[in-house]
Amino acid sequence: MTTLKLISLQSGSNGNGIYVQARSVRLLFDAGISGSQTQQRLDGHGQDIAQVDALLISHNQRDHARSMGTFNASSACRST
């Protein structure tokens, strides 16, 4: 059985972000909060932003994509 880890980093009009891990795959859905806020919240769950495999943006609105460029420039996330 695969264990799924789901962490809501923030949800609302001032920013959205969800971390999902299944086996060795780590995904970040949306980048509506800063990279430092994301790392701080992941730290609280024993996770490291540098280990995120990919960033997926649900749609191009500020509360979902605000820090997209920051993640692309400063992490191991793949950009497609």
More confident residue, 62 or 8: 8
Hey, what are 35's tokens? Answer: 């990279």
pLDDT digits (tens, 9 = 90+) for 11-65: 999 999 999 999 999 999 999 999 899 999 999 999 998 899 999 999 988 888 8
Q: What share of the chain is helix, strand, coil (3-state, %, to 5)?
A: 30, 30, 45
Confidence of residue 75 (pLDDT cuts 50, 70, 90): low
Q: Is the model's pTM score more than 0.95?
A: no
pLDDT at 67: 86
Residue 7, amino acid: I
More confident residue, 31 or 2: 31
Q: Nearest to residue 80, comparing CAs of 24, 27, 38, 4? A: 27
Q: Nearest to residue 52, comparing CAs of 15, 3, 7, 2? A: 7
pLDDT at 78: 53
